[in-house]
Structure 1
């Protein structure tokens, strides 16, 4: 793999960090003084760490930092023909992306925009516009897809023979988030996503986690087909244990 690919990957990491950190800084410093005591916005602000979108772009930042460290080590040891990344560092980077970040990003994109288009109040109440601009909205729900696609295009991946470990991490991540949702409802008597409140108590409510689970596993599988297609010509599609 050429250094050009490594540098392009690093550019993506730097842009990812700058985009998300810059957006967070803008959101937190751009609130108008008259909105500081708005009860809806105060509640929204306190619950921000419990939104799945926030989990996802935070993990994109973490992955980008780890990716920069890995590629920095690769470049600094480019003269060592037998150099390999530390096993646990490489494993953390790859598992974070394949098992959690890729499927999570596509779930955010695929759930948010159809609901936003159909009835935005189900997923993105009007009062949020007071603090989140259209640009911020697209950074958190659209640009995140470009981030993971860039990674797949410039980071060759080898499909494992067994997906058990990745599926375990994927399942744990989504179950943990649903536990946070339920805990928030028990603690505050509020569903942070309005669609849950609309469907709660109906036969359709259990379909939400089931549908999201199916989507997550489908996207997890899709990444290998895409990665193998991109890298097969370079001999990167062989399987390992």
Structure 2
């Protein structure tokens, strides 16, 4: 009896901490986004001033789009914590829960991993190709980590602490593929409108190199859908088996 009470108590603490992490993550990302849009602008004589205040603005950056998806996803988590369900095997999963799981699988996890790994990899090679040193005068270090480091920390915490069912691969993967194609179209529209590439690295590449780079980054980005699905199936293998068997019983 004491063991059951202890287990119940421990589970209650775990759930409370997980819900707190959801709230912290949501506030953390929304604050970073709002701070960025309100305060983070270069002086008018800085080369980045015109791009950031012209067509596309900050919505040209995958970093910002990724942060918005993180903020939106963790807001869904908070709402689900209060009015939805986090049961592993509900008889009827709510639409909110299903939608939340879809956003994680299709956008939140792949974009977080893609943005962080791509950014820090290029940064390690030559930071001037992704975040020039001159940006330090107006782009604070802490915000850089909110956008490019903490996204991985929070999304991995979520992967390991919250059970989810991935959507059908055709549905989830197609959503991510469409997003990536639209983003490639988007940065070319910005190039056409402003005569300037969104990322400095694209300026120094020849046409064949640029095509190869975009294709590589695109394939790299969408591959994280399968990475997330694989990790989720491994981490939650027992719960997924129980969900399948439970689903058969209710048919």
- TM-score class normalised by the smaller sequence: 0.7 to 0.9
Q: Which residue of 2 aligns with 1:93?
A: 100
**1:180 matches 2:186:** yes
Backbone CA RMSD of aligned residues: 2.8
Q: State which of 132, 150, 158 in structure 2 corresponds to 1:125.
A: 132
Whether the 8 Å contact between 2:101 and 2:165 is mirrored in structure 1 is: no
Change (3 A) 1:178 1:237: farther
Q: Which residue of 2 aligns with 1:12?
A: 21
Change (3 A) 1:30 1:188: closer
> Unpaired runs of 5+ in structure 1?
none
Change (3 A) 1:211 1:238: farther
> How far, CA to CA, are the matches of 2:14 and 2:107 in structure 1?
23
Whether the 8 Å contact between 1:74 and 1:85 is mirrored in structure 2 is: no
**Larger CA Rg, structure 1 vs 2:** 2
> Unpaired runs of 5+ in structure 2?
1-7
Whether the 8 Å contact between 2:30 and 2:68 is mirrored in structure 1 is: no
State the TM-score, normalized to the length of structure 2: 0.81
Change (3 A) 1:10 1:84: farther
Change (3 A) 1:218 1:117: same
Q: Which residue of 1 aligns with 2:163?
A: 156
**1:199 matches 2:205:** yes
Q: Which residue of 2 aligns with 1:66?
A: 76
> How far, CA to CA, are the matches of 2:51 and 2:25 in structure 1?
24
State the TM-score, normalized to the length of structure 1: 0.84
